[in-house]
Amino acid sequence: MPHDALVSRTTLITRDAADPLARFRDLFHMPDDLIYLDGNSLGPLPKRTVERMQQVVQDEWGRLLIRGWTACDWINAPSRIGGKIARLIGAHPDEVICADSTSVNLFKTLAAALALKPGRHVILSTPDNFPTDLYMAQGLIRHLGGVHELRLVDGERIEDHLNDQVAVLLLTHVNYKTGRMYDLAHLTQRAHACGALTLWDLAHSTGAVPMDLNGAEVDFAVGCGYKYLNGGPGAPAYLFVARRWQPVFSQPLSGWMGHATPFAFDPVYEPAPGIGRYLCGTPPILSMAALECGIDLLLDADMQQIRAKSLALTDLFIQLVEMRCAGYGLELMTPRDHAIRGSQVSFRHPQGYALMQALIAAGVIGDFRAPDIVRFGFAPLYLRFVDVWDAVDRMLHILEARAWDREEFRQVKQVT
């Protein structure tokens, strides 16, 4: 959006009226007067989920009991939901399965990827990757006897470190602190050129950024169900394995749900022929039912429209903060360049923690990330342009009045 000094609350109300995604807001529960800029950590509750939970608990579990596994097709929930997620990320339906947490899926896919590159010992990543990605790699390395190395290098220069030692390039597409987005297709191609595989963490891009995993020839990916997919706290995650790698190796968490014939109760493990081998234990049906509602909402929207609005919202937020809150010590961390920006905006502020507490008290929910980052996520399905104006307005009042400068806001409580 051009930097238009004439932008006002009224012009933004007009802009909302013309928004092709406007109808989605009413499909969510959103407390009055709350501006929710934290959907990149935990998405809000879709109204349909409330009905569906009632149905799955009372009618399915309550009345059908164990018959639900077949009568309600619970058993196929992981592949059915995986198939729906596939449509959001440019994958074939049989390349995605819904299961476990992102962390566990990282372990399974990283183990599979390393086994495909026996002569190479390096997992290449960045120190600012989300910690669970690094922790899971460290744990797997220990488990495999310490022959691998997790090599952490500056993300801006990652290409310089791709060489014939690298087995797997392990990156998070959109950085959780800064909102910086990597060029997934380009880096995948560069990794392949040196003979390495790619494992992408799509936690902060799924449902916010259109992706074409097959077009980019990505090998493995994982993603999160409770952020932009609005699946609820601790919603199941997903994993993607390109068709070409599915038959080659089975992952190490060889639970019975990943068996070719789980109900044959054979004492010997034999992996399922396709993506099903990446399952481990029994799927959490209640959580999956909630997640499916969130995904269905997204599938009803157009990902290109979502991306266009996400960029417009983040542009507007940057513009208004810089125009209206100038001189109060806020420093933009998120790239201005659309090509490398996800769906969030982060600023540094010397009193970042207290500022975020004051914002939350004023009804603007974002996140604080140590040491000094205030982070705002923009989910186009339920946010309005006028919300951006109001959020900046409340921030300006807090900054002008130094309302953050209160003992209760400075005291660091548990940080989420």
Ligand X SMILES: Cc1ncc(COP(=O)(O)O)c(C=O)c1O
Ligand Y SMILES: Nc1c(O)cccc1C(=O)C[C@H](N)C(=O)O
Residue 24 contact partner, candidates ligand X, ligand Y, none, CB within 5 to 8 A by sort of partner: none
**Cα(324)–Cα(321) distance, integer angstroms:** 5
Pattern of binders to ligand X over 119-148, x per CB under 6 A?
-----------x-xx---------------
Provide the minimum distance between the beta carbon of 48 and ligand Y in the complex, in angstroms, as a whole number.
23
Q: Residue 101 or residue 138: which is nearer to ligand X going by CB?
A: 101
Q: Is 201 marked active-site?
A: yes
Q: Is 376 in the site for ligand Y (CB under 6 A)?
A: no
The amino acid that residue 58 corresponds to is: Q
Q: Residue 40 or residue 351: which is nearer to ligand X going by CB?
A: 40
| DSSP string for 79-129 | HHHHHHHHHHHT--GGGEEEES-HHHHHHHHHHHHHHT-TT--EEEE-TTS
**Cα(48)–Cα(46) distance, integer angstroms:** 5
Q: Which residues pair with 166 in a beta bridge?
A: 122
Q: How many CB atoms lie within 10 A of CB 90?
A: 17
- 133 is an annotated ligand-binding site residue: yes
Q: Residue 84 or residue 204: which is nearer to ligand X going by CB?
A: 204
Could you say which of 7, 24, 36, 41 contacts ligand Y (CB under 6 A)?
Answer: 41
Burial 62-84 (b: 16+ CB within 10 A, else e): eeeeeebbeebebbebbbbbbbb
**Cα(371)–Cα(391) distance, integer angstroms:** 22
- 314 is an annotated ligand-binding site residue: no
Q: Choose, from 36, 176, 226, 376, the residue flagged as catalytic.
A: 226
Q: What H or E segment, with its residue span, contains residue 74?
A: none
- 250 is an annotated ligand-binding site residue: no
The amino acid that residue 81 corresponds to is: I
Q: What H or E segment, with its residue span, contains residue 324?
A: helix 303-324
- 61 is an annotated ligand-binding site residue: no
- 404 is an annotated ligand-binding site residue: no
Q: Is 24 in the site for ligand Y (CB under 6 A)?
A: no
Could you say which of 107, 176, 182, 404 contacts ligand Y (CB under 6 A)?
Answer: 176
- 389 is an annotated ligand-binding site residue: no
Per CB under 6 A, the segment of 26-34, 53-61, 163-171, 196-204 that binds ligand X is 196-204
Query: Angle, to 10 degrees, between the axis of helix 285-300 and the axis of helix 47-54?
Result: 150
Q: Is 100 marked active-site?
A: no
Q: Tell me how far apart the terminal alpha carbons of the chain are, to the nearest angstrom.
A: 32
Site for ligand X in 160-179 (CB under 6 A): 172, 176
Q: Is 414 in the site for ligand Y (CB under 6 A)?
A: no
**Cα(171)–Cα(155) distance, integer angstroms:** 9
Residue 416 contact partner, candidates ligand X, ligand Y, none, CB within 5 to 8 A by sort of partner: ligand Y
Q: Residue 304 or residue 416: which is nearer to ligand Y going by CB?
A: 416
Q: Is 227 marked active-site?
A: yes
- 10 is an annotated ligand-binding site residue: no
Could you say which of 201, 219, 315, 367 contacts ligand X (CB under 6 A)?
Answer: 201
Provide the minimum distance between the beta carbon of 176 and ligand Y in the complex, in angstroms, as a whole number.
3
Q: CB nearest ligand Y: which residue?
A: 176
Sheet containing strand 237-241, strands side by side:
96-99, 237-241, 220-223, 197-201, 166-172, 122-125, 149-152
- Measured CA to CA in angstroms, residue 115 lies from 81, 251, 269, 326 at distances of 27, 9, 18, 52
From 120, 125, 110, select the one nearest 175 (Cα to Cα).
Answer: 125
Q: What H or E segment, with its residue span, contains residue 270?
A: none
Q: Is 224 in the site for ligand X (CB under 6 A)?
A: yes
Residue 126 contact partner, candidates ligand X, ligand Y, none, CB within 5 to 8 A by sort of partner: none
Residues that are catalytic: 130, 201, 226-227, 375
Which residue numbers belong to the known binding site for pyridoxal 5'-phosphate?
102-103, 130-133, 172, 201, 204, 226, 256, 282
Q: Which residue ranges are tagged as binding site?
A: 102-103, 130-133, 172, 201, 204, 226, 256, 282
Residues of this chain that bind ligand X (CB under 6 A): 101-103, 130, 132-133, 172, 176, 201, 203-204, 224, 237
